[in-house]
Structure 1
Amino acid sequence: MGETISQVLVHKYLGIWFDSKGTWGCHVRYLIKKCQQRVNFLRTITGSWWGAHPGDLIRLYKTTILSVIEYGCFCFRTAANTHLIKLERLQYRCLRIALGCMHSTHTMSLEVLAGVLPLKDRFWDLTTRILIKCEVLNPLVIENFDRLVELHSQSRFMTVYFNHMSQSINPSSYISNRVSLLDTSDSTVFFDTSMMKETRGIPDHLRVQQIPKIFFNKYRNINCDNAFYTDGSLLNGSTGFGIFNNNFTASYNLDNPASVYVAELAAIQYTLGIIETMPTDHYFIFTDSLSSIEALRSMKDVKHSPYLLGKIREHLSALSAKSTQITLAWVPSHCSIPGNERADSLAKVGSINGDIYERPIAYNEFFGISRQKTLLSWQASWDKGELGRWLHSIIPLVSTKPWFGRLDVGRDFIRVMSRLMSNHYGLDAHLSRIGLTNSSLCVCGQGYHDIEHVVWVCTEYCGARSQLLDSLRARGIQSNVPYGNNKLLMKSP
């Protein structure tokens, strides 16, 4: 009381630097300085041929650097491009370190290879999510935006709000994430994911023949009338679920937004409701949704579909009280397990013309709309870009997962393949383009010194080429030399 409030050009509030002109230059400089030491740490734990796995480095970037950059983006996402480009360069630098790519690699190619959203798209996604959350938890923010529309309807800051209002976002009243947890010592509820281990390593072309036999041998002693198969399906933007039992079938549609994960949980909840009306016994629910089983088994608070998870746990508790045993078992999808295939067909029917399965929709279920719009924006930029076309021909669709996400390979392989896929590697054909060599021709005199020439034509690598082809033939892969003299393959190095 009674103190004079001083006027300053910049002021830090809740970790964000506000400046009097609203340019956000001070905050961007603050972020770069704060992240510099963390970027240097990434460099110290990796090198060209040694160091941490690229997947670990990308995760480390997201948790220690990207989390700092994106904090408060609700405010500064409308900063001038001259400031935002500095943050984008920081991301490019980190991804280049993680993947081991050359400095000349196209920036958008780095993001596609690493499965990391461009910062502008990421900022848009996070800002939209905040507005969706405020619809339920802090409606005063929405009211303030409504007032701002009257004053600054043409402002860049209002673009994301106009987009938000154009969406059909009507979340139900607040649903707490705190759900009653299952008693893990309860002997009436079981989780069986053993088929993951028993089917691991089966080649794709043999799964349809071998997995049904494994399933039958494993569960041949259970009462077929006590076996329920559940599945979820997403067709043409519509989601549904199906349930199959020898004496009962069901198929329902879910109001949007609804993911396959939500549909799987809804199917399990509906099935447990049916089992509650049946005599006390041991019942099996087979699902191909591992995430559903893990969410039910988890002892942590959940962020997604708390209503359905809460209802499922209530059903399980009620069944446990009457000594009914429930086993939730995972089965692989699309492997010709009859019950699972029938449930899949019913789920497709439900997604197309099934009756609506009523449920409250939590605000975080609408986050998928924001993410889908963000991915479409990223995809459009990737399709319309003028650079990185070589990689576009290999990875035409963007993804939030790195290209090597499902491969069990080391850093050396990822580094080499990332360079080859981006068409930026240490051979003369590329080095001449960036002015590091005078000629793009190979010393063998057979053509340009690029990767195709080295693998298929160059006489310097005939021995290694023969080993490569022998290895491919041993794996049953027929490889044809795209060009060049096939007799070169028979020469000794």
Structure 2
Amino acid sequence: IVNTFGDSYLLFTDGSKLHEGTGAAFFDQQMGFAKQYKLPKEASIYTAESFALLEAIQYANTLNVSKVVITSDSLSVLESLSHSSIRCNMPQIIMRIKEALETSNKMVELAWIKSHCGITGNETADNLAKCASTNGEETLIKIPTSDLLIIAKEKMKNNWQEQYSSNQKGLFYKSLNPRVGKISWFKSSEAHRKHIRQISRLRANHAICPAYLYKIRQIYNDTCNICNETEDMKHVIMTCEKYATDRDILFKEITGLMPIQL
């Protein structure tokens, strides 16, 4: 790392979000100096990484050096800072970092560094940030709306999961899909709408078969007249003697296909 940045003064930054809280820190290895900040628990890891950079820039202005390189392992934050123009949806803390860089009395460069790659300064900053989530200097900052939206979405998903798990309907579907999903299973599929509908009915155990027709009171018997078992779709597809030839054709057709999550 010394060969990469030459005679520049190095500062290491990191952010951490744990169950206990959110922390940010920067570390000056040359001086053996560090600052740790305990941020509001609602702050995201993105906000924590950004805050660590902002504080490191302000600290760099106090140093008696001309060139400073501040490292971060957050590629998303650095990519946000790489946009030359100010955009209406840009987080306020990113705009503050941009302003701090423009008004700094030093030549400050930001550099991405891979996390957990054995660089002592970076590992120290990582540990400092983790400790800061519970023991750092308590710091009140304005939580970005985007961070609050993440929390709201997570709470809504947890509530949905609780309702989904406790509901006694759709037990067959839940046996296949115990967790609620973020996107539809067919979102990236190129399958025809007809096939998507057929598979969806299979997943919901609503495919047209004697067991389902009996359930909705369209027929009076759901027993297979050959096997003397309940004639649901599992029976039809996997075991029923009536469909042995069709089953062989089906299995030959699908052998070798990439497995897909239905």
Coarse TM-score class (shorter-chain normalised): 0.5 to 0.7
Amino acid at match of 1:349: C
Identity among equivalent pairs (%): 24
Other-structure match for 2:10: 226
Aligned residue number for residue 240 of structure 1:
23
Contact in 1 for aligned 2:39/2:138 (Cα 8 Å):
yes
Aligned to 2:48: 263
Alignment of 1:164-175 (within 5 A): none
Whole-Å separation in 2 of the counterparts to 1:464 and 1:262:
52
Please state whether the residue corresponding to 1:300 is helix, strand or coil.
Answer: coil
Of 222, 228, 247, the match for 1:461: 247
Query: Among residues 300, 304, 313, which one is paired with 2:87 in the alignment?
Result: 300
Indicate if the aligned counterparts of 2:70 and 2:108 stay in contact, CA closer than 8 A: no
Structure 1 equivalent of residue 165 of structure 2: 383
Secondary structure of 1:252's counterpart equals strand
The verdict on how the C-alpha distance between 1:326 and 1:295 changes in structure 2, with shifts beyond 3 A counting, is: closer
The TM-score, its normalising length taken from structure 1, stands at: 0.40
Structure 2 Cα separation of the partners of residues 414 and 442 of structure 1: 27
The CA distance in 2 between the partners of 1:342 and 1:424, in whole Å, is 57
Please say if residues 446 and 457 of structure 1, whose CA atoms lie closer than 8 Å, have aligned partners that are also in contact: no
Q: 1 CA distance for matches of 2:236 and 2:133?
A: 51
Distance 1:443 1:222, change over 3 A: farther
For residues 88-139 of structure 1, the C-alpha deviation after alignment (integer angstroms, 9 at most, x for no partner) is xxxxxxxxxxxxxxxxxxxxxxxxxxxxxxxxxxxxxxxxxxxxxxxxxxxx
Deviation at 1:444, TM superposition (A): 7.0
Deviation (angstroms), 1:313: 1.3
RMSD: 4.3
Distance change >3 Å, CA 297–CA 440, structure 1 → 2 = farther
Summarize the Cα distance change of 1:220–1:390 in structure 2 as closer, same or farther, 3 Å threshold: farther
Structure 1 gaps, min length 5: 1-218, 476-493
Shift of the 255–434 alpha-carbon distance from structure 1 to 2, 3 Å rule, reads: same
Q: In structure 1, which of residues 267, 287, 294 is the aligned counterpart of residue 73 of structure 2?
A: 287
Aligned to 1:310: 95
Amino acid paired to 2:56: T
2:209–2:233 contact (8 Å) kept in structure 1: yes
1:377 deviates by: 3.8
Deviation of the 1:382 alpha carbon: 2.3
- 1:433 equivalent in structure 2: 215
What SS class does the counterpart of residue 15 from structure 2 fall into? strand
Q: Is the 8 A contact 1:232 1:347 kept in 2?
A: yes
* Displacement of 1:415: 5.1
1:410 is aligned, of 190, 203, 222, to 190
Kindly provide the CA deviation profile for residues 225-259 of structure 1, in whole angstroms up to 9, marking residues without a partner as x. 737352331314x2223446754654421124322
Q: TM-score, normalised by structure 2?
A: 0.66
1:151-166 equivalences under 5 Å are: none
Q: Does 1:359 find its partner at 2:134?
A: no
1:326 correspondence with 2:113: no
**Match in the other structure for 1:479:** none
- Structure 1 counterpart of 2:12, one-letter code: F
**Deviation of 1:315 (Å):** 1.7
Indicate the SS of the match to 2:189. coil
Matches of 2:216 and 2:139 in 1, distance apart?
Answer: 60
Deviations 1:61-90 (A, max 9, x none): xxxxxxxxxxxxxxxxxxxxxxxxxxxxxx
